[in-house]
Amino acid sequence: MPYRVTFVCTGNICRSPMAEWVLRHHVQDEGLDVEVDSSGTGGWHAGDAADERTVAALHRAGYRAAHIARQFDPDWFGRYDLIIALDGGHLRALRSMAPDEEARGRVRLLREFDPDAGPDLDVPDPYYGGRADFDLALEMVEAAMPGLLEEIRAALKPA
């Protein structure tokens, strides 16, 4: 059974699809049995493609990007091994939706996996910014990947 990871941001058109495609790239390169997707805490953009600036940032960095936004459903908690929030607001929203303590424990912040992140673990929302904001968000996502991959590899090791 594959290990399942989902990323969650606000509208599921900027940060979470960015993180989804970066992790997909890495798990595919390593041949890890991991399913990756994403969603948003809100449904404003459900059915929309990823923001064109997200797609452009991913393409500039050599990643693929195909995405249709959706809203996180609280019924999905049992579906995922790891639910990764992109900022503290998403973390609080997800933990408040969780059906129990075990489910709340599967919700983490992406930048927790970056040992150099410092005290501010939010990936800032680039939506109202420009190219530099999207590139910064991608840099933060990429910086967390080694630690996240280490966590996933450890979870996939036979007991």
Set 14, 15, 53, 122: catalytic member: 15
Q: Which CATH class is domain 3-156?
A: alpha beta
- pLDDT of amino acid 67: 95
Helices (H), the chain: 15-30, 52-60, 88-97, 101-105, 131-156
Set 48, 70, 108, 125: catalytic member: 125
The pair phi, psi for residue 20, each rounded to 5°, is -55, -50
Which distant-in-sequence residues (6+ apart) come within 8 Å of 92 by Cβ? Answer: none
- Residue 140 confidence (pLDDT) above 90: yes
- Please report which confidence band the pLDDT of residue 159 belongs to, taking 50, 70 and 90 as the band edges: confident
Set 9, 51, 111, 122: catalytic member: 9
**Number of H helices and number of E strands within the chain?**
5, 4
Over residues 71-130, the pLDDT tens digits come to: 999 999 999 999 999 999 999 999 999 999 999 999 999 999 999 999 999 999 999 999
* Cα–Cα distance measured from residue 127 to residue 80, given in angstroms and rounded to the nearest whole number: 27
125 is catalytic: yes
- Please report which confidence band the pLDDT of residue 158 belongs to, taking 50, 70 and 90 as the band edges: confident
Calculate mean pLDDT across residues 131-140: 98
15 is catalytic: yes
Q: Which residues pair with 37 in a beta bridge?
A: 6
Q: Where are the domains of the chain?
A: 3-156
Over residues 16-72, the pLDDT tens digits come to: 999 999 999 999 999 999 999 999 999 999 999 999 999 999 999 999 999 999 999
14 is catalytic: no
